[in-house]
Amino acid sequence: MSDNINLFDLKSERIRTLHFTWFAFFLSFYIWFNAAPLMVYIKDALGLTSEQIKVLMILNVSLTIPARVAVGMLVDKLGPRILYSVLLSISGVLCILFAMTDSFQQMAMMRFLLGFVGAGFVIGIRMISEWFPHKQLGLAEGIYGGWGNFGSAGAAITLPTVAVIFMNIFELGPDEVWRYTLGISGVVAIIYSFIFYAAVRDTPKGSTYFKPNKTGAMEVTSPGDFVLYLVMNIPLYLALAVLTWKLGLIDASSDGSKIPLLAETTTYMIYTFLFVVYMYQAYHVYRINKHIFTEPVPEIHRYKFKQVAILNLSYFCTFGSELAVVSMLPLFYYQMYNPQELSTGMSIATASLIASSFAFVNLIARPVGGFFSDTFGRKQALIILLGGLSIGYFLMSLITAEWWIPAAIAVTMFCSFFVMGGEGAVFSVVPLIKRRMTGQIAGMTGAFGNVGAVTFLTLFTFYDTSTFFLIIGATALVVMVIIALFFENPKGQMAEVLPDGTVQMIDVS
């Protein structure tokens, strides 16, 4: 089979499935980040403070942490076709409800719930892995992820323009135009959920959809991996605990009377709940994997969980930084080139267009990252791309209002290329670890991306923008060293058990 992918061969069901799936992901990202380019209107309409806006940014990526883990398990069990359709329908409804909010408390709750839409990425990873062979997998996953991730740029490019059209043609005021603009995107997502369900299948004809032997937690194959799995689950809960702590510091009042968004009692209740849930999950991890302490897993069925852990850390830096930067970049450029400070100034539409250059590179960079991984080696691609990511964020930290705008755009796109390319390289490996657990591995890796987003956005509330970019770059350097020392290129074959009990070998070299 050729290693090339002809995207215009619409007679091929494989290619049609790829197109339907990346567009589903595009819509989910469009909805997920549709508030950022309209935040100036939202801020004025509801009288939000800068601190409250930063909280909305954090809330927007928080629920995705547990959602991706849960959806990863569900997609392995139920299949991507039905799950993506359900996710788009629910997300469309949540988007419409967000557009109807009229207070910060309501907006905070709906933005938190909208983080659910970010779990859609995991579903498509499993779908694409079912339809493409390993030699095309990195490129195919890169096209899916890159073109889908472009949804955030699509929102930044189109939504301010749509808002202006609504104001001019329908004479809507700034206080209400953002509501209609966001509501339309929710309606589109609901309509497409039915189209997707009717247009795709989980697997090609004659193929087996491998399901995990047990549900509730990921299977591991050695006592050491069992311990590492428990350790790697901790950051998922710590990120939510940090978010809870941060919300307890926020003044939810509009008159500065210092009413916390979360009361102290509520905060401690959430801490306790997170601890109980972690212990409950740890019990399920033991229940599913207790046999590894009494009888060794046959070599043919083993995999190394450290591979999953390193992919988690890599996505923490790549996708985590993307989510954080996409959330703050439109307002960053608008405030930097504010008309009150510079005679040349710019509108929010222009600032959003410049900020969209960060996500615009997704169209090329993520597929290129997957292609590099397919062609030159999984480990080598990760090292190069994370190194470039560090350099990119260092350059981003140097941007000031004195910079020539095209130069700022060039640096933004340079940094973005390595961020998105790194994401493509990470998910070119995920389906090669253990096929029947692709959804679970993708869910955990994807969740770490959101842990990164919560971490970086929380740091953003304490540091200036320049320091914020430098912290991301330094984190990527540390992960690059870990990859160089401990990551192993997938090679040989993985074994999967068919429903009739026979073993099928799948090439991953």
The DSSP secondary structure of 459-478, one letter per residue, reads HHTTS-HHHHHHHHHHHHHH
C-alpha separations of 350 from 94, 288, 329 in Å: 28, 53, 12
Residue 4 lies in a domain: no
Four-residue CA torsion sign, 316, 317, 318, 322: positive
C-alpha separations of 84 from 24, 75, 193, 200 in Å: 8, 9, 7, 11
pLDDT at residue 339 greater than cutoff 60: no
- DSSP 8-state symbol, 8: T
Residue 179 lies in a domain: yes
Task: Pick the range with the lowest mean pLDDT from 145-154, 173-182, 327-336.
Answer: 327-336
The more confidently predicted of residues 448 and 496 is 448
**In the chain, what is the straight-line distance between the N-terminal and C-terminal CA atoms, in Å?**
15
* Percentage of the residues of the chain whose pLDDT score is greater than 90: 39
- The domain that holds 365 is classified in CATH as 1.20.1250.20
At 329 the pLDDT is 83
Task: Pick the range with the lowest mean pLDDT from 159-173, 397-411, 447-461.
Answer: 159-173
Instruction: For residue 456, give its domain range.
Output: 13-507
Residue 170 lies in a domain: yes
Residue 1 lies in a domain: no
Q: How far is the C-alpha of 305 from the C-alpha of 233, rounded, in Å?
A: 12
Domains identified in the chain, total number: 1
* pTM of structure: 0.81
Task: Pick the range with the lowest mean pLDDT from 230-244, 375-389, 492-506.
Answer: 492-506
pLDDT at residue 49 greater than cutoff 60: yes
User: Which residue in the block uniquely carries the two structure tokens 């390595």?
Assistant: 418
Q: How far is the C-alpha of 155 from the C-alpha of 117, rounded, in Å?
A: 15
Residue 184 lies in a domain: yes
pLDDT at residue 348 greater than cutoff 80: no
Residue 344 lies in a domain: yes
At 436 the pLDDT is 77
pLDDT at residue 50 greater than cutoff 60: yes
Residue 2 lies in a domain: no
Q: How far is the C-alpha of 400 from the C-alpha of 337, rounded, in Å?
A: 9
C-alpha separations of 108 from 35, 56, 112, 254 in Å: 12, 6, 6, 14
The more confidently predicted of residues 345 and 265 is 265
Q: What is the mean pLDDT of residues 355-380?
A: 84
Q: What is the mean pLDDT of residues 447-458?
A: 88
Average pLDDT taken over every residue of the chain: 85
pLDDT at residue 506 greater than cutoff 70: no
At 207 the pLDDT is 81
Q: What is the mean pLDDT of residues 474-493?
A: 89
At 355 the pLDDT is 76
When pLDDT is cut at 50, 70 and 90, the band that residue 172 belongs to is: confident
Q: What is the mean pLDDT of residues 61-68?
A: 85
At 342 the pLDDT is 43
Task: Pick the range with the lowest mean pLDDT from 61-65, 266-270, 318-322.
Answer: 61-65
Number of H helices, E strands in the chain: 18, 2
The more confidently predicted of residues 346 and 495 is 346
